[in-house]
Amino acid sequence: MATRRRSIAAALASSSFFFLLLSAGLSHGQLQVGFYSQSCPNAEAIVASVVRQAGASNPTLLPALIRLQFHDCFVRGCDGSVLIKGGNNKAEVDNNKHQGLRGLDVIDGAKAQLEAQCPGVVSCADIVVLAARDAVAFTGGPSFDVPTGRRDSKVSNLRDADSLPDVKDGIDVLRSKFAANGLSEKDLVLLSAAHTVGTTACFFIQDRLYNFPLPGGAVGSDPTIPPGFLSELKARCAPGDFNTRLSLDRGSEGVFDTSIFRNIRNGFAVIGSDAALYNATSTVDVVDSYSGLLSTFFGPYFRQDFADAMVRMGSIGVITGKNNNGEVRKVCSKFN
């Protein structure tokens, strides 16, 4: 699937906000590029405008929106279930695996505008996927089409999120969780590379720095972290510091580029799940293939492949068609 490098300004000026990376009407299962072209022609432009404004006021929301799609799609599929706010901490979003999740208010803002213009038409699940696509573009990543037509889930359970990939997962567990969602080891590497932008909280690396299991039942620091980098991380994240934030892509947190692969290759991955990508030959080979400076010119092409992986992830477990298995919510945070 090709990606097109064109400015966001030009894209927003387009009445359809499609880049023709997929032909109009091309479908993925029952999803379809341009699904709302007749029922709500400005749907994608409205979402893009809301995301652009949110990113302008708080740039950290853009990586958060990319992460939001991952957290929605990997639990029950891309069905908007992560957006539900339930009572008594029983909704999916209340699971600790969703710790630090942000951007839900951006989705709510887009939904409010869409309901004002096209009541009951655009699903929250589609807004999540569109917002993530736009957030990628607004951080300097590729612009690409995503098929739409998802319906929203009528279910959101706390324990369903237990299966979400975790920063502490080893490579075998990560591969298994991705395979369970129909994604390959290459997809695992590419989607992890979304960490080319954004930050993480010290909360997510405390165990890697101070409570990592060592031989003989001891605990300490992950021995795979280079000594100089370990000192750097400990200087930023003292024991018990859960809130300080640091770049996921050392030295390049604000730019969508391939430096994340070189950081992983050189031992400078910040979170454990990124570091784990260099612990199996199959994923090492993928990381290395994007690490070389010449890959930008001769391939493999990270921007195009990342866009493809995002589209594949966006197709996990979707609810489509007019049936009793889904709905189009009026408000994203609660069922109709």
Helix ranges restricted to H, 43-123: 43-57, 61-73, 104-117
- Distance in angstroms (rounded) separating the CA atoms of residues 216 and 246: 31
Which backbone phi and psi does 248 adopt, to 5 degrees? -75, -30
- What pLDDT score was predicted for residue 96? 93
> What local confidence, expressed as pLDDT, does residue 323 receive?
65
Enumerate the β-bridge partners of residue 331. Answer: 334
- 224 in a known ligand binding site: no
> Which distant-in-sequence residues (6+ apart) come within 8 Å of 336 by Cβ?
327, 328, 329, 330
Query: Does residue 27 carry a pLDDT above 80?
Result: no
Residue 293: its pLDDT value, please? 76
pLDDT at 193 over 60: yes
Residue 75 known to bind ligand? yes
Reported confidence tier of residue 19, pLDDT bands at 50, 70, 90: very low
Range with lowest mean pLDDT among 6-15, 146-155, 167-176, 238-247 = 6-15
Q: Does the pLDDT value for residue 48 go beyond 90?
A: yes
Beta-carbon contacts of residue 160 (< 8 Å; ≥ 6 apart): 75, 76, 81, 92, 95
Is 328 marked as a binding-site residue?
A: no
Please tell me the distance from the alpha carbon of residue 57 to that of residue 170, in angstroms, as a whole number. 36
12 band by pLDDT with thresholds 50, 70 and 90: very low
Q: How confident is the model at residue 88 (pLDDT cuts 50, 70, 90)?
A: confident
3 state SS of 279: coil
CB 206 within 8 A of CB 311: no
Name the burial class of residue 9, with classes exposed (0-12), middle (13-18) and buried (19+) by CB atoms within 10 angstroms of its CB.
Answer: exposed
CA dihedral 49, 54, 56, 62 (to 10 degrees): -100
The DSSP letter of residue 257 is S
Average pLDDT of every residue of the chain: 90
Please check if 226 is assigned to a binding site.
no
Domains annotated for the chain, with CATH where assigned, are: 8-164 (1.10.520.10), 171-310 (1.10.420.10)
| CA-CA-CA-CA torsion sign (146, 149, 154, 160) | negative
Rg (CA), the chain: 20
83's tokens: 């957006």
pLDDT for 28 beyond 60: no
81 is in an annotated binding site: yes
Instruction: List all residues 6 or more positions away from 284 whose beta carbon is below 8 Å from its beta carbon.
Output: 277, 278
Q: How far apart are CA 307 and CA 147, in angstroms?
A: 12
CA distance 123 to 133: 16
pLDDT at 118 over 60: yes
Residue type, 123: S
Average pLDDT score over residue span 287-301: 83
- Residue 296 marked ligand-binding: no
Active-site annotation holder among 71, 175, 262, 329? 71
Q: Provide CB contacts within 8 A for 66, sequence distance 6+.
A: 132, 135, 136, 139, 194, 197, 198
Q: Is 71 a catalytic site residue?
A: yes
